Amino acid sequence: MEKLGIYIHIPFCIKKCDYCDFVSVKPNEEMIERYINSLINEMKIYSKLIGGYLVDSIFIGGGTPSSIDIKYIYRLFEILNNSFNIASDSEITIEVNPGTIDNKKIKAYKENGINRISLGVQSLNDKILYNIGRIHNKEDIINTIKLIKLNGFDNLNTDLMIGLPGQTLPDVINSLEQIIELKPTHISLYSLIIEEGTKLYELEKNGKLILPSEDEERLMYHDAKEFLEENGYLQYEISNFSQNGFECKHNLKYWTLKPYIGLGLNSHSNIWNYRYWNYSNFTDYNEALNRGSLPISNKEFISTKSRITEFMILGIRLNSGINREEFYKEFGTDIDYFYKDAIQKNKDLGLIYEDGRSIKLTKKGLDFSNIVELDFYI
Amino acid sequence: MHVDKENIRNFSIIAHIDHGKSTLADRLIEKTGMMTQREMQEQVLDKMDLERERGITIKLKAVRLNYKANNGKEYIFNLIDTPGHVDFNYEVSRSLAACEGAILVVDATQGVEAQTLANVYLAIDQDLEIFPVINKVDLPSARPEEVAQEIEDIIGIDASFAPRISAKEGLNIDQVLEGIVERIPAPTGDENKPLKALIFDSYYDPYKGVTCYIRVFDGKIYPGMKIKMMSTGKEFEVTEVGISTSKQIPMDFLSAGEVGYVAASIKNVKEARVGDTITDALNPTEKPLPGYKKVTPMVYCGVYPAEGEDFNSVRDALEKLQVNDASLVFEPETSQALGFGFRCGFLGLLHMEIIQERLEREFDLNIITTAPSVIYKVHKTDGEIIDIQNPSNLPKPSEIDYIEEPIVSASIMTPSEYVGAIMELCQNKRGVFLNMEYLDEKRVTLKYELPLNEVIYDFFDALKSKTRGYASFDYELKGYNRSELVKLDILINGELVDAFSIIVHEEKAYERGRSIAEKLVDIIPRHQFAIPIQAAIGSKIIARETIRALRKDVLAKCYGGDITRKKKLLEKQKEGKKRMRQIGSVEVPQVAFLSVLKYDEKK
């Protein structure tokens, strides 16, 4: 049976973080109620379409999924379980904000079969947390992790960020030291990107944001990577580290071109040779589902050429790299047919190297992955 | 259908930009009933979009109107349109030569302006009768009596009878029509003499070949007739003659006094140059009409196909433009930085800009242009004198005795409060002050001699910026002066980029070099390595800037399953890269070649 990942978007936040450009709003109960009903309708439509798939990962992301009442979680899982074939060893993740969680919620997640928590930590420095508009402090983070552990969750991811306003290299290492004390199985380490339309973007535009220099940010990245590896967290993607065997199954689907569907506002799907995405405003989304149709806003047919580009630009970001045999198996053509020059050029630039039959980013390549990806875009 | 010469009136409208020339032309056309409102586009005489956008007329055209005057007689009006810019001065003078009179439109709120004067003097040179009209009297700030006085004082013609009109509102247009009959003389000439006709415009028509707009002075011209171009001696057989109203109407013949068009299977406008005289090949007139001159380019620049653009498409487009524009010249050249391209010559800066824009818009070409240059006369030590317009062709300093550069006499008309700023600007541009005349207590004309190479750099932009657009500028070539000129080179990452080389005055070299280097630092994206940008004269580096190395080029954006967005970002970057020129290991955006020419407000 072909495997499938399901992403479910919960677009609600008590307060939007200053760096965030994901779709989310501050909700009222009525909005949540209506939205959950739409999600349920969406699942029901899909249940007829993807009966032949075995769902082996579910990821509830946001927004802030932990901000909504547990009664909604119960309802969602009731329908999920009734609508799809869910594998018994599935990875089922929910994103949690330390400022919107309590013991009751964590218990409910466990009861519903959720087996992985992804916690938005970002930093363990209270001042920096304040600088980026998080609603929690360091103490909330530590308490939340303790609660998660107490409830028997053994698979925990913590999201951390580097390059934050006011952050220094010692801050980063300090946060990491404290985090690994709490023994998460997985750590994501994202570089801050100032996106248009965010509060930080406005501040930067007006010259009111003090960010680490590029050199400092790269030092943070490489030192953090080294620190994590020394402590048993192996890098498997540019921004992702895990203990052995705890790579995020769901995210790996994104990077290895495996099929997934996205439910909810602005969610993206990759299935049946298409990438398509849902409406990003509530009215269109709810109305489509009220009519009984999928709330698809737009779609992109993935030609073989496009698939090759995806295979390359996503594959190069993984530590396992791009395997020549796998490329041949996937596309029936030698990788050199498309990429001989690009591979040579980037080898010459010192950005990639060949490890056996796999093409991988060098240490320098991690800093300039965009250059490589651009050459792999055909 | 032919009318007695007595009932023909040939005239132009001359005016400063925005004083209402086109609007008045529209009203005359409308009032004489030649076209319905619907047929008439907003400004019928300006055919080309580009011209309309810029509010100026580049190519001249003629239109024939029928008017029944108050005296009961039927008249034929030939309205000959003139371009309104100094670059096209010669064409203006030829179209005026086709007329007996000119309507002078003066804005009742603005009064007489520099360009008005320049064109009035051209008209007076041609012995035309000037018929002044005061426009925009409907505006609250109109001061028609003062303006009439101004016309009398400054231009020295009687303006007491000048109609006070509003072309926009259609007010008193009948007075203008009657005035044309009364004030503008009927043409003279003898239809029994050998043919003598002036070409005042020509354009290429894909079906008829080159079509010439002509004014017949003596004799007749008719289909089947063998004609001769007097400047080249080339002969053609006339295939069609006619008049243009809202469309072209073929006629049996055109005779002395008339204005119309001629087609004669002419392949290229070069063979039917503006200002030339057409005569009967079998029975030629003795002397051509006076004033013919072959226009010569004043400003040159390199035009290169941008990345992904085909050399041949650029050549085809230039050839097509040249068929219609005898003043455009080009020849192939090669640049190390830009590859194969063309060195093109233009009448002036506006002409250059118009051609560039037409290549991009009408032919949908992606081109790169280099800094404009003028023709320098290089006196070599071996006694040879050579003309140089491409800085790359300048001989070695050891082979140069001295260099001469073109000098223009410039007249700048300005409200008096900007005199100081303009003098400072001209001083800065190595100008030599000649004199200053007060037109009245508010307005001044400054006369300067300026090196043309300073004028083509950023003089217009600087003048506009310093006078908030109030000053007007006019120039003509005066001659050549010996000058201390050097070739300034730009090196990117140690490599000389010939497309950036310019010839500048020694004293300006440091300032220009520094300014170009600074701009390039802003425009060239950072690379994985530091890039030195140097300005050099020969082997001497006079300015240096550095583009810092890029430490990081990562694009996250593949979390949450939205791969489409990442691909779009990459695609956009890929497109951007296409607009880059590879110079050694450095990628230089195409805009870099243009931006070094732009006026810098900071200065």
Question: From CA A177, how far away is CA B180, in angstroms rounded?
Answer: 94
**What pLDDT sits at residue B58?**
37
B244-279: pLDDT as tens digits: 876 788 999 999 999 999 999 988 878 888 889 999
CA A91 – CA B374 distance, rounded (Å): 73
- Which tens digit of pLDDT belongs to each residue from A367-378? 999 999 999 999
Contact B567 A309 (CB under 8 A): yes
B interface residues, A as partner, C-beta within 8 Å: 528, 550-564, 566-567, 570-571, 573-574, 577
For residue B474, CA distances in Å to B87, B89, B433, B458 come to 9, 10, 15, 15
DSSP characters over A243-296: STT---HHHHHHHTT--EEEESTT-EEEETTEEEEE-SSHHHHHHHHHTTS--E
What pLDDT sits at residue B56? 39
Say how far apart CA B71 and CA B182 lie, in whole Å. 11
Candidate from A218, A267, A314 with C-beta closest to B551: A218
Q: Closest Cα of chain B to A377: distance in Å?
A: 7
**Packing angle, helices A29-49 and A282-290, rounded to 10:** 50
User: Looking at the partner chain, which of B551, B567, B570 has a beta carbon nearest the beta carbon of A214?
Assistant: B551
Best of B526, B528, B552, B566 to disrupt the A interface (most A CBs within 10 Å) is B552
Amino acid at B183: R
Give chain B positions within 8 Å (CB) of A349. 528
Contact A373 B551 (CB under 8 A): no
Task: Note the pLDDT tens digit of each residue in B202-235.
Answer: 887 777 888 899 999 999 999 999 999 998 899 9
Chain A residues contacting B via beta carbons under 8 Å = 7, 22, 61, 190-191, 193, 214-215, 217-218, 238-239, 251, 254-255, 260, 262, 267-270, 275, 277, 300, 306, 309-310, 313-314, 317, 349, 366-371, 373-374, 377
Q: What is the mean pLDDT of residues A266-287?
A: 95
Say whether the peptide bond before residue B170 is cis (omega within 30 degrees of 0).
no
Instruction: Collect all residues of chain B within an 8 Å Cβ-Cβ radius of residue A310.
Output: 563, 567
Angle, CA B350 vertex, CA B344 and CA B353 arms, to 5°: 60
CB B134 within 8 Å of CB B116: no
Cα–Cα distance measured from residue A97 to residue A119, given in angstroms and rounded to the nearest whole number: 6
CA B491/CA A117 separation, integer angstroms? 56
Q: Are B599 and B462 in contact (CB under 8 A)?
A: yes
What is the pLDDT at residue A324? Answer: 97
Instruction: Report whether pLDDT(B59) > 50.
Output: no
Pairs of residues, one from chain A and one from chain B, whose beta carbons lie less than 8 Å apart? 85
Q: Return the closest-CA partner of residue B378 out of B406, B345, B402.
A: B402
pTM, full prediction? 0.66
User: What crossing angle do the helices spanning A335-348 and A324-331 adopt, rounded to 10°?
Assistant: 150
Query: pLDDT tens for residues A206-257?
Result: 989 999 999 999 999 999 999 999 999 999 999 999 999 999 999 999 999 9
CA-nearest residue of chain A to B568?
Answer: A377
Average pLDDT over residues B392-398: 89
Give the model's confidence band at B598: pLDDT under 50 very low, under 70 low, under 90 confident, else very high.
low
The CA distance from B320 to A278, in Å, is 50
The rounded mean pLDDT for chain B is 85
| pLDDT for the residue numbered B540 | 92
Q: Report pLDDT digits (tens) over A77-89.
A: 999 999 999 999 9
Chain B: closest CA distance from residue A32 (Å):
21
Mutation target vs A (from B567, B573, B577; most A CBs, 10 A cutoff)? B567
Mean pLDDT of B306-322: 86
Banded model confidence at residue B124, pLDDT cuts 50, 70, 90: confident
Query: Contact B284/B228 with Cβ under 8 angstroms?
Result: yes
Write the pLDDT tens digit of every residue in B480-514.
Answer: 999 999 999 999 999 999 888 989 999 989 988 99
pLDDT given at position B472: 73
Q: Is the pLDDT of residue A126 over 70?
A: yes
**Hey, are the CB atoms on B558 and A314 less than 8 Å from each other?**
yes
Per residue in B449-489, pLDDT (tens digit) is 999 988 887 787 788 788 876 777 777 788 999 999 999 99
Coil, strand, or helix at residue A200? helix
Around Cβ A317, how many Cβ atoms within 10 Å?
A: 23
pLDDT reading at B45 higher than 50: no
Cβ(B44)–Cβ(B25) below 8 Å: yes
- Interface confidence (ipTM) of the complex: 0.89
In whole angstroms, give the CA distance from residue A242 to residue A189.
Answer: 11
Question: Is the Cβ–Cβ distance between A376 and A312 less than 8 Å?
Answer: yes
Compute the C-alpha angle B32/B34/B37, nearest 5°: 95
Closest CB from B553, B557, B577 relative to A368: B553
What's the gap in Å between the CA of B155 and the closest CA on chain A?
A: 55
The answer to whether the Cβ–Cβ distance between A310 and B563 falls below 8 Å is: yes
The predicted pLDDT at position A38 comes to 97
Question: B456 CB contacts (<8 Å, ≥6 apart)?
Answer: B299, B349, B372, B373, B374
Q: Measure B567 CA to nearest chain A CA, in Å.
A: 8
CB contact under 8 A, B555 and A260: no
pLDDT recorded at residue A80: 96
Among the listed residues A18, A3, A53, A63, the one whose alpha carbon sits nearest the alpha carbon of residue A264: A63
